[in-house]
């Protein structure tokens, strides 16, 4: 396929200064001398990302064109299913390989009603299968469930705005068993659980920042997104290779940031 062409390679200087996270975790830390690469995908409305179970490729969801696979150089290597539903996020259960998706609005072309529904990819048919509607999620039009990640036996689903809450859905019990309120965010555009240090990363497309928080919702650090990368709505953490991946809803591009995950802020 023609998508996945390298678009730009730059060195980013992203907001200087540092501060102890325990004092002010909302302060924007730098990603010093980061290698930032942008990849053109040719896919519109990219809304969610995650790393595959084996860490060899990315899953990417477009809310207009469907589910795709990308290699770790930003190239499209396959389309799993096409558009037709407003899927905003994708997540993988690293223990089982199961792929989950979250739908924000209903698929009838009328965005006046939120869907706020959880789906699972059928590995045989490569089609999404409905699991349930998250009744607790936000009712404000087109500001419902946007992000998704798997944390142990739970699926965490992030409501974009009004409220900026995360709902903890227990896969065994088949219901929401708790929620976190991330009150200092504007948009919860996507979330990604990193089991290496048991933190959750989030991209906030409204504030043009990414941040990480612990499993109790306490913000640990915040990083600015390069100003040239607009409307970042998906995030994935590739600890094995040392990258943060983002995707843009407005351009469909992928952003790959070389990141020092052992960086200590004094």
Q: Is 84 exposed, middle or buried (0-12, 13-18, 19+ CB in 10 A)?
A: exposed
Distance CA(83)–CA(39), nearest Å, equals 21
Report the CATH fold assignment for 12-251.
Answer: Neuraminidase (2.120.10)
Q: Within its chain, how far is the Cα of 72 from the centroid?
A: 16
Distance CA(145)–CA(139), nearest Å, equals 10
Question: pLDDT tens, position by position, for the chain (266 residues)?
Answer: 334 433 333 333 333 222 233 334 444 554 544 588 999 999 999 999 999 999 999 999 999 999 999 999 999 999 999 998 989 999 999 999 999 999 998 766 555 678 999 999 999 999 999 999 999 998 888 888 999 999 999 999 999 999 999 999 999 999 999 999 999 999 999 999 999 999 999 999 999 999 999 999 999 999 988 878 888 899 999 999 999 999 999 999 999 998 888 644 32
Distance CA(98)–CA(150), nearest Å, equals 10
Positive or negative CA dihedral for 133, 59, 53, 35? Answer: negative
Distance CA(193)–CA(43), nearest Å, equals 25
pTM of the model: 0.87
């Amino acid at each position: 396929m023609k998508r996945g062409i390298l678009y730009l390679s730059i060195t980013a200087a992203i907001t200087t200064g540092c501060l102890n996270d325990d004092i002010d975790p909302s302060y924007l830390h730098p990603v010093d001398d980061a290698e930032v690469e942008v990849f053109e995908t040719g896919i519109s409305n990219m809304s969610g990302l995650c790393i595959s179970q084996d860490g060899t490729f990315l899953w990417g969801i477009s809310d207009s064109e469907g589910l795709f696979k990308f290699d770790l150089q930003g190239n499209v290597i396959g389309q799993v299913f096409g558009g037709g539903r407003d899927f905003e996020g994708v997540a993988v259960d690293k223990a089982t390989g199961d792929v989950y998706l979250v739908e924000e609005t209903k698929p009838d072309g009328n965005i006046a009603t939120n869907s706020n529904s959880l789906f699972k990819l059928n590995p045989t048919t490569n089609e999404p299968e409905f699991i349930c509607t998250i009744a607790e999620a936000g009712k404000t039009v087109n500001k419902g469930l946007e992000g998704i990640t798997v944390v142990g036996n739970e699926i965490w689903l992030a409501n974009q705005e009004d409220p900026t809450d995360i709902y903890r859905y227990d896969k065994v019990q088949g219901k929401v068993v708790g929620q976190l309120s991330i009150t200092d965010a504007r948009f919860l555009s996507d979330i990604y659980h990193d089991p290496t240090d048991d933190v959750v990363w989030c991209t906030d497309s409204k504030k043009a920042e990414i941040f990480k928080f612990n499993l109790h919702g306490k913000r640990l650090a915040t990083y600015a997104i390069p100003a040239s990368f607009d409307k970042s709505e998906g995030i994935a953490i590739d600890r094995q290779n040392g990258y943060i991946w983002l995707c843009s809803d407005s351009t469909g591009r992928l952003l790959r940031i070389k990141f020092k995950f052992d960086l200590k802020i004094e």
